[in-house]
């Protein structure tokens, strides 16, 4: 579709616009990008409103899961949220980690960082901070995080291997992550794969589920667990902007699936190389 740098600039530009949109607009589209649907509300994201620490002003409706619900955050933990947006997952993580912990949100988009800082300041949170940066090269030191969370963000990153490598670097030995993301089973129609709006909309940038999980194994993580999985239905009134009626019918009746998954994995207590090497046949 484009070079990695061009894709990153696309995401930064689109999410600068999304930062100014309301939750209803974002949740009725694909991660805020592209056209809105009149068929359904909340195409991807789950309902956060019942979670402790939820703040409506920080919820832009951009997620595809509830990683903080599954993240096993304890009091005093240092938590990092990748692609922190307006701060929604950070504020829920703060409730779990308490006053003695620390939460760091990292986002690529200056407009999102600004909005998140306004939300944090309005609530007087002094142990939540937001840093602008690329999650392939996080602006934090090695071995500082007990827990890393992320919600529908890695699919936007062209080089996902680099993200998992940096997650491994930043986690403490024995630390873990819980990440919600979009993955595929089968191939997307060509027009969806190529379209820039659908890339920014979290779908065209998704990779095969098995490849995603294998990437985590090859990075060296252990105890990989699929905590939640749900199908994502893209309504016909969105698909019609990219596909013909015949292509829509084939896509909806075929074997291709778009799924939201929440994955847990742990960094080993010792930095041993992964025991399952590519091509070894053990995975």
Under CATH, domain 4-266 is a member of which superfamily? Vaccinia Virus protein VP39 (3.40.50.150)
For residues 77 and 113, what is the distance between their CA atoms, to the nearest angstrom? 22
Write b or e for each residue in 253-277: b if 16 or more Cβ atoms lie within 10 A of its Cβ, otherwise e.
eeeeebbbbbbbbbbbeeeeebeee
Q: What pTM did the predictor assign?
A: 0.77
Contact 154, 262 (CB under 8 A): no
CA dihedral 46→50→56→60, nearest 10 degrees, is: -10
For residues 42 and 31, what is the distance between their CA atoms, to the nearest angstrom? 10
Helices 110-122, 88-97: crossing angle, 10 deg rounding: 40
| Band of residue 261 on the pLDDT scale cut at 50, 70, 90 | very high
For residues 17 and 186, what is the distance between their CA atoms, to the nearest angstrom? 31
Residue (of 121, 73, 63, 115) closest to 97 by Cα position: 73
Strands (E), the chain: 78-82, 102-107, 128-132, 145-151, 171-185, 207-208, 222-231, 257-266
Q: What is the mean pLDDT of the chain?
A: 78
Query: What pLDDT, on a 0 to 100 scale, did the predictor assign at position 227?
Result: 96
On the question of pLDDT at 62 being above 90, the answer is no
CA 74 to chain centre: 21
Contact 140, 80 (CB under 8 A): yes
Q: What percent of the chain stands above pLDDT 70?
A: 66
The tokens describing 128, both together, are: 């939540």
What is the per-residue pLDDT across 266-280, written as a single tens digit (0 to 9) for each? 999 975 545 555 554
Burial group, residue 219, by CB count within 10 angstroms (0-12, 13-18, 19+): middle
CA dihedral 181→187→191→194, nearest 10 degrees, is: 60
Assign 72 to helix, strand or coil: coil
* Lowest-confidence segment of 136-140, 206-210, 217-221, 242-246 by average pLDDT: 242-246
For residues 156 and 200, what is the distance between their CA atoms, to the nearest angstrom? 7
What is the per-residue pLDDT across 94-152, written as a single tens digit (0 to 9) for each? 999 999 999 999 998 888 899 999 999 998 999 999 999 999 999 999 999 999 999 98
Strand duo 102-107 + 78-82: pairing: parallel
* Lowest-confidence segment of 12-26, 144-158, 218-232, 259-273 by average pLDDT: 12-26
Q: What is the DSSP letter of 189?
A: P
Residue (of 212, 214, 143, 140) closest to 179 by Cα position: 212
Q: CA neighbours within 13 Å on the CB side: how many for 119?
A: 28
Contact 69, 49 (CB under 8 A): no
For residues 72 and 97, what is the distance between their CA atoms, to the nearest angstrom? 10
């Amino acid at each position: 579709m484009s070079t990695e740098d061009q894709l990153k600039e696309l995401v930064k530009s689109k999410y600068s616009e999304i930062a100014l949109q309301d939750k209803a607009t974002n949740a009725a589209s694909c991660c805020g990008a592209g056209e809105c649907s009149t068929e359904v509300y909340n195409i991807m994201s789950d309902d956060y409103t019942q979670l402790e620490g939820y703040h409506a002003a920080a919820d832009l409706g951009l997620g595809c899961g509830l990683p903080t619900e599954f993240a096993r955050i304890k009091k005093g933990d240092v938590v990092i949220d990748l692609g922190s947006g307006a701060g929604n997952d950070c504020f829920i993580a703060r409730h779990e980690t308490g006053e003695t912990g620390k939460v760091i949100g990292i986002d690529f988009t200056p407009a999102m960082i600004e909005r998140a800082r306004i939300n944090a300041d309005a609530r007087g949170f002094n142990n939540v901070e937001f840093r602008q940066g690329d999650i392939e090269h996080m602006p934090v030191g090695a071995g500082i995080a007990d827990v890393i969370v992320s919600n529908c963000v890695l699919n936007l990153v062209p080089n996902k291997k680099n993200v998992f490598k940096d997650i491994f670097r930043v986690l403490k030995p024995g630390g873990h992550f819980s990440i919600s993301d979009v993955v595929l089973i089968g191939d997307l129609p060509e027009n969806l794969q190529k379209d820039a709006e659908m890339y920014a909309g979290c779908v065209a940038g998704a990779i095969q589920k098995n490849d995603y999980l294998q990437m985590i194994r090859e990075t060296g993580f252990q105890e990989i667990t699929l905590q939640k999985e749900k199908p994502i239905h893209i309504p016909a009134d969105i698909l019609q902007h990219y596909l013909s009626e015949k292509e829509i019918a084939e896509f909806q009746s075929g074997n291709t699936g778009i799924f939201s998954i929440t994955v847990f994995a742990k960094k080993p207590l010792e930095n041993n190389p992964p025991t399952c090497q590519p091509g070894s046949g053990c995975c």
